[in-house]
């Protein structure tokens, strides 16, 4: 995860659960110090969807 300048941010409490019980294929993390009006970019690599490995990339901004 990076901020608008491309600087890498430190994630904590990373969790992945692929057990199939509850919410299967869950990936979560925490990031302190998020600021409204700042764009953040998330990149997740190696996600398997229907047997095909792909990378996900998206941006978000808190309002």
| pLDDT value for 41 | 95
Residue 1 burial by Cβ neighbours in a 10 Å radius (0-12, 13-18, 19+): middle
Cα distance between residue 3 and residue 48, in whole Å:
26
Cα distance between residue 30 and residue 28, in whole Å:
7
Please give the DSSP secondary-structure letter assigned to residue 4: T
Give the pLDDT confidence of 4-60 residue by residue, as tens digits: 889 999 999 988 877 766 667 788 899 888 899 999 999 999 988 888 999 999 999
| pLDDT value for 22 | 65
Question: What global pTM score does this model have?
Answer: 0.74
User: Where along the chain do its domains lie?
Assistant: 12-61
């Amino acid at each position: 995860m990076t901020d608008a300048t491309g600087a890498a941010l430190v994630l904590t409490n990373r969790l992945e659960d692929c057990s199939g019980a509850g919410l299967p294929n869950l990936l979560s993390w925490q990031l302190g110090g998020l600021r409204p009006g700042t764009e953040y970019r998330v990149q997740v690599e190696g996600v398997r969807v229907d047997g095909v490995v792909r990378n996900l990339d998206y941006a978000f901004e808190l309002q």
